[in-house]
Amino acid sequence: MKFLTVFVLAAAAFASACADPAANKPKATTSAPSSASPAAPASTTAAPATTDVFASFKPKGTSIDVDAATSKIEFTGSKVTGKHDGGFKVFKGVIDLVGDKVEDSAVVFEIDMKSVFTDAAGLTDHLQNQDFFEVAKFPKASFLSTKIVADTAKGAGNYTVTGDMEIRGTKKSVTFPAKITLAADAVTVASEFSINRKDFGIVYAGKADDLIRDDVVLRLDLKAPRKK
């Protein structure tokens, strides 16, 4: 009986370690970017031109800065034996609020990829090299929304956001769910979804006996204070 108990507990622990954190999360869809000139493929050897996402952003309403100190951009990646959590410490974003109507508004973001962090120092260093983000060549990632649609089936405050996301020199149109709240003091955005890293040229497989899963969970917790 004691052996059986130990075996069951060990099996449960192993199953938990191997569970895919992206399995029960909404999955983002990707397609060709809306811009006419997509970024250079990640496999090119020449240094690509850095896309200045803010230069192409044309506000139509009131620009509200996202407060990086109270906001978070985090992720969870996993492999056969377990998972790792991480995120980015340095980023800037602007919400273009048009007439207090979410559907008419837009958001633009830029992330300093050198600011990546994880729960393991060795992994943090690895994410910065050519196997993953290759930050020396692609120092920034960006997102510019192109459409926000209310998801009435999920209730008030739920939306489907579409926009051009660029990571590691590869740009894709990405669609994902988000909870967006317009309050008197701030605009907040909360979202959690999975995305396929290979869509952005991050194809490193990992060790033969410890393969890295394709889907990565992204978590956004953004706050943009409104000026009184």
Predicted confidence (pLDDT) per residue in 70-129, tens digit: 999 999 999 989 999 999 999 999 999 999 999 999 999 999 999 999 999 899 999 999
Q: Residue 191: what residue type?
A: S
Q: Which one, of 114, 120, 94, lies nearest residue 105 by Cα?
A: 94
Instruction: Judge residue 196's burial from the number of C-beta atoms within 10 Å of its C-beta, 0-12 exposed, 13-18 middle, 19 or more buried.
Output: middle
- Domains belonging to the chain, first-starting first, are 19-225 (2.40.128.110)
- For the segment 61-74, what is each residue's pLDDT rounded down to a tens digit? 999 999 999 999 99
